[in-house]
Structures are given as C-alpha cells and as structure tokens.
Structure 1
Amino acid sequence: MTPRLARTTGALALAFGALWSAPAGAEKADRFQPLNFAADAARVEDNQRLNILSGNVEITKGTMVVRADRVEVRQNADGSQTATAIGGPGGRAFFRQKRDGVDEAIEGEAERIVYDGRTEIIRFTSRAIMRRLQGNTANDQVSGPVIIYDNKTSVFQVQGGGSSSGATGRVRGVITPRTTPETPGAESTR
C-alpha cells in the first residue's frame, strides 16, 4: 500500500469509526449463545474441531445471522468459534448482528466473510458492503474490496486498491447525519 493510500485509508477508518462510535459493540450476550444451523448437508470432522456446512446455510448465534452457500465453523481451543462463509445469493455471503444497548444492527455482504469469535473481528472480502441499520432503515453504508470490522470497538476499516493488498477498486460510502437532541441551555453558534 502506498503511503498516500495508507493515510487515506486510515483517515476514512477514523472518520467512519467516529460516526459509528456510539458506545455500543456487538450484542454482548451473543458470545454465550449456542450456534444453531440449518443446511442441505453437514460434515463434522471431530478430530479437527471442524464443521463444514453446505447448501443454503443459515447460522444463528443470539442476534447474529450468517447466510451463505458454504460455511466452515472451527471450534477454537478457548471455546470460541471461527466461521468462514462463502457465496450465497448473487455470489455473496450475508452477516447481520444487533449492536448492544441500541436499536441498531450491522449487516454486510461479501463473497467471503470470516468471523473470528476470539477477537470479534469480521472481515468482508471481495465486493464487500457494510451497512449500519437503525431499526430496519439503512443509515450509513460503505463498500470496497475489503472491509474489516471490530465488533468490540465498533471501528472498521475499508481498504481500496493498492499494489500490496491485491485489492482493486475504490472505497465508497454514504453517511447519514445523526440527529442528537440539543443539550438544555446550550446556545446555537449560528
């Protein structure tokens, strides 16, 4: 990544992170919920701690929902799970999870989605789109070749093209102004 692109990517991550930085990460209770799935086929490799689900896969874990053509779920030594979702309608897998303490959710689509339950980081790769929904209304949206979202801190990074990343394309987004009630006694600066 060129120094200029690195600065631009970093600035975008900070700007969008500040917009979504309300004190709400992923729904905290989700990490203690069982993982439920439905699929056309399942293969369990117990010695490898690996479950391979294929065909119309839908996974739920509390408020978290993942839909894809294929999902590989690995049980980590610490009890957390890592899931890799590939393909789905239009060639993209889908992820959605409610944010803790607010009526908001994060959802996204990409050709490949990797959720690391240990770090609570989601990586959307190839034709990636991520939205912040307030209720059922999409308020903010970003797209790019790679989006990395930290569920604990509500900070994300969108990576565009660059020679070292192997990604091509531009980062795009829509930021909806947030309405916040004025503080009583505060004077307008107009």
Structure 2
Amino acid sequence: MRNLPLLALLAALAGGPAFAEKADRFKPLNVEADQPGRIDLLNQHVVFNGNVVVTKGTMTIRAGRIEVRETPEGYHSAVATGSPNKPATFRQKRDGVDEWIEGEAERLEYDGKTDTIRFVTNAAVRRLRGSTVADEIAGNVVSYDSIGEVFSVSGGAAATPTNPGGRVRAVLTPREGSAAAAEAAAAASQPAPPLKLAPSLGGGK
C-alpha cells in the first residue's frame, strides 16, 4: 500500500496515558545558528543558515537552514531544510516518562498553533524508552500531532534502493509493563534450543 493513514498508532506508540511535554507548547522559541540570519520584523519572518538549532522547551529541531514565521495571533511556524546526506532532525520528551520522540527527514514543517510536525521525504520517526528504540515508523511523509500523540504516514512517490516501492513501514513493540512485553523479555533471555531432525531426515529410528 502506497498511502496508508496509521492513526491507530496512537495507542501503539503512546503506550500509556503520557503525552508530549505539555509545557513545551507555551515555552519561547529560541533559534541559534553559525551564520548571520535575515530578520524581517515587518513580516515576522526569520531565516537562519548553518547548523541551525531551534528549541522550545524539550523540543529541539536541527537543520542546515530554518525559516521561522510568526502569525498575527502570535503562533510560530518553522520549516527546517536538510539534505539526503544530512537530514533535519527532531527530538521531544514525552510527559511524565523517560521516553522521547525523535525523527529525521529532508524537510521538517512545524506548526506551533496545532503543535504538529511533518517529516517530509525519507522520513523516519522513533519512540525511545531511555536510549532503546521501542517503535519506529518510516515513509515518505510522517505527521506527528504532539498534543494527542497521533501519527500518520504515507508512502508517496519517493523511492530508495532499499525501498524501491516507496512503501511505508512500522515496527511496534509490546507496551511496557504488559504481559506481552514480559513474555517477550523472558523469551529473549533464554538460549535458543538446539535444532532437532525429524525421523524422516534421519533424526530418529
């Protein structure tokens, strides 16, 4: 399937009642860069180049070029541009747990009013428990609503040598603390049993 909305991944990826850091939405947006920026105060438009870092609470966006705009209502939006060799990256802590959402794509589009971010072209988004990857989504475009923690993903036309069909991909692990997670952990700690030959293959008489 080339175009697959995965809104049901809310339950799979959220793994519980925690949400993205609620206070992040109301924190100031800070921008740092290696090169001088262009600031248009009249149109509330700022352009930065060179290892640009945007922070807003626990949220961090890094890219080679980032444009920031402010709407008349005071909300910020940002477009971060990377490249195939050095994509733009995103990272944000989830509220109340030691978990992070992180991802990368050639282009990131952040909307401060709706607190959503779109990962465009060669997108990959992961949920980390500490430093361990718990879940991962990959596709041409991945959207993340950090308020409701809803993801959607589509394949699109972009194809790579490892994914010539432009298919979407999701890898999900059992919810932490669930019976399935405990069973998976127990199975992983056990050595693999030796293989046995069936009688027809000479394993019995």
**TM-score, normalization by structure 1:** 0.83
Partner SS, residue 114 of structure 2: coil
Report sequence identity in percent.
50
Shift of 1:88: 5.7
User: Does the 8 Å CA contact 1:86/1:112 hold for their aligned counterparts?
Assistant: yes
How far 1:178 sits from its partner (Å)? 2.1
Q: In the alignment, which residue of structure 1 is the partner of 2:62? A: 67
* 3-state SS of 1:41 partner: coil
After TM superposition, the structure 1 = structure 2 runs for residues 84-163 of structure 1, keeping only pairs within 5 Å, are: 84-87=79-82, 90-161=85-156
Stretches of structure 1 lacking an aligned partner (at least 5 in a row): 183-190
Cα shift readout 1:31-73 (whole Å, capped 9, x = no counterpart): 2222222212211011110110111101111101010000001
| Of 6, 11, 16, the match for 1:18 | 11
Number of equivalent positions: 171
Q: CA RMSD in A?
A: 1.9
**In structure 1, distance between residues paired with 2:95 and 2:25:** 12
Q: Report the more deviating stretch, 92-101 or 27-36.
A: 27-36
Deviant stretches of 4+, over 4 Å: none
Separation in structure 2 between the aligned mates of residue 121 and residue 60 of structure 1, nearest angstrom: 15
Is the contact made by 2:122 and 2:158 (CA closer than 8 Å) also made in structure 1?
no
Matches within 5 A, 1:12-51: 12-14=6-8, 16-21=9-14, 22-39=16-33, 40-51=35-46
- Check conservation: 2:13, 2:172, Cα contact below 8 A: no
Distance in 2, matches of 1:145 and 1:50, equals 28
Work out which of the residue numbers 32, 37, 54 in structure 1 matches 2:49. 54
Q: Determine if contact 2:80/2:109 at 8 Å carries over to the other structure.
A: yes
Larger radius of gyration: 2
Tell me the equivalent position of 2:162. Answer: none
Structure 1 SS opposite 2:143: strand
- Cα distance in 2 between the residues matched to 1:179 and 1:92: 30
Could you list the runs of 5+ residues in structure 2 that have no partner in the other structure? 160-165, 180-205
